[in-house]
Structure 1
Amino acid sequence: MRQRVVRVALVAASVVLVLLAVPLAVVIRASFFADERGELQRDAMAAVIRVSPDFTAGDPVELPPGQSEGQLGVYDTALRLRTGTGPSTADTATRRALAGTVVQQSAGGELVAAVPISQGERVIGVVRAAISTRSVWNRILTAWGALLGAALLALGAAILVARRQARVLTAPLESLSRTSQAIADGDLSARAATCGINEIDQVADTHNAMVQRLAQLLHHEKNFTANASHQLRTPLTGLQLGLEQALTTPTTNPRAAIEEALERARHLNDTIDEVLQLAKAEPAAGAALQPAGELLERAERRWHGPLAQDGRRIRLTPDPAATTLPVPGRTTEQILDILLDNAHRHGHGTVTVTLRDMGAALALDIADEGTLTLHPKTLFERGTTTGPGEGIGLALAKDLADSTGARLSLTHTAPTTFTLLLPHTQ
């Protein structure tokens, strides 16, 4: 592109110079010839003043100094050269001047001006001034050479300016190309810089916005697999264990086992929907609302068994006035499961779930009897963990809370307590 910009500028400058130089060259030629004719006529008229009426009788004539390269002579009515320089016999221009008119003509490679010498009303001679056209053409060619030199100088300056401007114009595009290549190589943090050229800056801003959007989408897609694995592992295990227990225990009520399996399957379906919605990087539209008390009861049924197997228990302490208040069902249920799973894996003792009405929001406190050793600032970052886990759960819970306008935070480290604030929903 840089060479193309230089070529375009060079062609434009050449066209302008030709359009200016050719007419100027024509004007120079016409002007030089016109000036030379005028100079010859002035020399001839200056000589006429010096010629005495008695020059035909042999009176000497002192002619003024003419042009060094020209001729200046006085002719009598017999068309003979009496003094000065010139052809011995008068030429056509001199003969025509005997008629009493000033004559200018170009003939025989010369420019000639003939001025009649008058006495009274009678022409008694002619002053002839002439110069070779070659001499005029030499001066014209010298002027044309100077014009050509100026044109070449202007063209050179145009090339230098064009190359500089080409660098100014192409450098941001080359930088944008390098940035795009870096992004193609996997560096999603690369961003195009601005350069002060509005059109190119607009392209850079659009490019950066596109990359930012792609980075967000790739980030959510990258987390989708980890989120899905994390969220589906525990419900699938519970479903499998429940079905296996129903098969191996003869006294199990088949209907109750099937109902429990259906509830776990529904929970799995909701989990998949929530993870998919989060992967789209868009807030859920029209999320179904459910009474907060029902969510707590279902959570107790799901987690009573896993905690009991470890000799632990789950305790609900809801505010009766808050149990009927609606909350985003599926999202809140997923966050609650993550926090309970975190308490199961990393906590100790009894897990207490408290539901409180704080006026502008509902508060869900999930506490165990353990002590948190991680720094609160890094707690919700992916990969942060104190045990064998992959450090996905709390980060996912934070993302789910943010997607519904809720707020998840650590409120105590001993005992470990997480609080989920849910804005009241009408």
Structure 2
Amino acid sequence: MRQRVVRVALTAALVAVVLLAGPLALVIRSSLYTAQRDTLERTALAGAVRVSPDFATGDPVELPRPLPGGTLGLYDPKARLRAGSGPADGDVPVRRALGGGLVRSGTGGRIVVTVPVSHAERVIGVVRASSPAGAVRRRVLTAWGVLLGVALLAVLIAVLVARRQARALAAPLEELSEHCRAVAEGDLSRRAASSTVAEIDQVARTHNEMLHSLAELLRRERDFTGNASHQLRTPLAGLQLALEEGLGQGRDSPLRPVVAEALATTRRLHRTVEELLRLSRSRGWAHAAATYVPVRRLVQETVDRWHGPFARDGRRLLSSADDLPADLRVPGAPVSEVLGILLDNARVHGRGSVQVRVRDLGSALALDVSDEGSVGGDRARLFDRGHSGGGAGAGIGLALARDLAVSLGGRLSMTRADPATFMLLLPVDPACGEDPAP
């Protein structure tokens, strides 16, 4: 912005200088030459007044002193020099003046003015005054130099004023940009300060009002998430205790496998609630506080957990992760949640066999979940919250899975529509170890 303001001011100053200085330079040149001709004319007229009608018979004529470097001479009707200085034979201006009119001209690098001398209504001689044109030319160049210096000074002043004004305009905008960068980094308590520019102050006030509304909205959402998680913890803990007690007392009960599965499901639900709460409070990558587990074990546990629901639907669930390094670890709970959402999406909206495949890409890890169905509709809105491609569900699962992937520094995308294939791309660090279980 600063450079743009300076360029605009410089362009305006140059245009003004060209439009004003050009005609002014021509006026200066014309006025200096006109002034020199007027001076020569006055000198010639002063000499013509001193010419006696009898000068042709030998009466001496005393002409005024010529201009410095110039000549002043009296010529008879035959264009011969009779007094003063100048060419012996009259030139063209002298011959033209013998016709009875004053002549101004330039010839041979000199400015010449000739004045006829009349007596008894006839021309009896001509007074010729001249001066070198070089002297006038030097005065013109000197004046042009002064004009150029004034123009450059005006341009310089315009640039300095423009730079100062650009700083005055850009400083509040730069401060507002720095403020927005701090807000983008998570500091919602920052507020834009006022400046001396009314329009920028209006933008700052609108920005502060928007930021206040946004901070209030985020506070309410975080409070709701915390309250919901807190209220869910107590009944979930009571349900776990009841199931554990029932599992311990009914060792020979035929319902023991069902109770054990319900207990495992309740524990997973508890971990899901904790993960969602941690994600809502996190300002950075979620894996900074997540527990790292071997990816092969994670995939196997996920497949084992989802094998029953797919088997009841008469569908197969396959996995492929045997060629991965044993020490390759990923954040356990978030990745498990994403895989769970993708498998549930494949069970509800897909068809045929489902396969979970893990690929080692060196500095990244790709987890593919595919089935034999296809994805229709608007693919651009597939991950929008509230949009359900199949018409069943609330349209939250894929949006939540995408947010979890982003919180891990990764990306979730649909790589193929037929057969439907989703890919979770994660950055990995093979050197990271498994955190102790809480």
The residue aligned with 1:60 is: 60
The residue aligned with 1:330 is: none
The residue aligned with 1:81 is: 81
The residue aligned with 1:218 is: 218
Partner Cα distance (1:59, 1:192) in 2: 97
Q: CA deviation at 1:146?
A: 0.9
The residue aligned with 1:384 is: none
Instruction: Map 1:387-406 onto structure 2 (within 5 A).
Output: none
The residue aligned with 2:108 is: 108
The residue aligned with 1:37 is: 37
Q: CA deviation at 1:216?
A: 1.5
Partner Cα distance (2:166, 2:60) in 1: 74
Q: Quick one: structure 1 residues 6 and 224, their matched pair in 2 at CA, closer, same or farther if it must change by over 3 Å?
A: same
Partner Cα distance (1:246, 1:153) in 2: 96
The residue aligned with 1:4 is: 4
Corresponding residue SS for 1:190: coil
Q: CA deviation at 1:74?
A: 1.0
Q: What amino acid does structure 2 have at the position aligned with 1:62?
A: E
Q: CA deviation at 1:202?
A: 2.0
The residue aligned with 1:267 is: none
1:99 matches 2:94: no
1:72 matches 2:72: yes
The residue aligned with 2:147 is: 147
Aligned length: 253
The residue aligned with 2:17 is: 17
Partner Cα distance (1:224, 1:49) in 2: 112
Deviation sequence 1:308-343 (CA, Å, 0-9, x none): xxxxxxxxxxxxxxxxxxxxxxxxxxxxxxxxxxxx
Q: What amino acid does structure 2 have at the position aligned with 1:50?
A: R
Instruction: Map 1:253-402 onto structure 2 (within 5 A).
Output: none
Partner Cα distance (1:243, 1:189) in 2: 46
Corresponding residue SS for 1:19: helix
Q: CA deviation at 1:141?
A: 0.9
Deviation sequence 1:233-280 (CA, Å, 0-9, x none): 44556777899999999xxxxxxxxxxxxxxxxxxxxxxxxxxxxx9x
Partner Cα distance (2:60, 2:159) in 1: 64
Unaligned stretches of 5+ residues in structure 2: 250-279, 281-438
Q: Quick one: structure 1 residues 245 and 182, their matched pair in 2 at CA, closer, same or farther if it must change by over 3 Å?
A: closer
The residue aligned with 2:261 is: none
State percent identity of aligned pairs: 59
Q: CA deviation at 1:204?
A: 1.4
Q: What amino acid does structure 2 have at the position aligned with 1:102?
A: L
Deviation sequence 1:87-142 (CA, Å, 0-9, x none): 11110110111121111122222221111111121211110011222222111111
The residue aligned with 2:430 is: none
The residue aligned with 1:410 is: none
Instruction: Map 1:64-213 onto structure 2 (within 5 A).
Output: 64-213=64-213
1:27 matches 2:31: no
Unaligned stretches of 5+ residues in structure 1: 250-278, 280-426
- The range that moved more, 117-126 or 224-233, is 224-233
Q: CA deviation at 1:4?
A: 2.1
Partner Cα distance (1:179, 1:33) in 2: 64
Corresponding residue SS for 1:227: helix
- The range that moved more, 192-201 or 227-236, is 227-236
Partner Cα distance (1:246, 1:160) in 2: 85
Partner Cα distance (2:13, 2:46) in 1: 48
Q: What amino acid does structure 2 have at the position aligned with 1:150?
A: V
Q: CA deviation at 1:230?
A: 2.6
Partner Cα distance (1:138, 1:216) in 2: 77
Partner Cα distance (2:247, 2:145) in 1: 109
Q: What amino acid does structure 1 have at the position aligned with 2:49?
A: I
Partner Cα distance (2:182, 2:236) in 1: 41
Q: CA deviation at 1:59?
A: 2.4
Instruction: Map 1:241-256 onto structure 2 (within 5 A).
Output: none
Corresponding residue SS for 1:53: coil
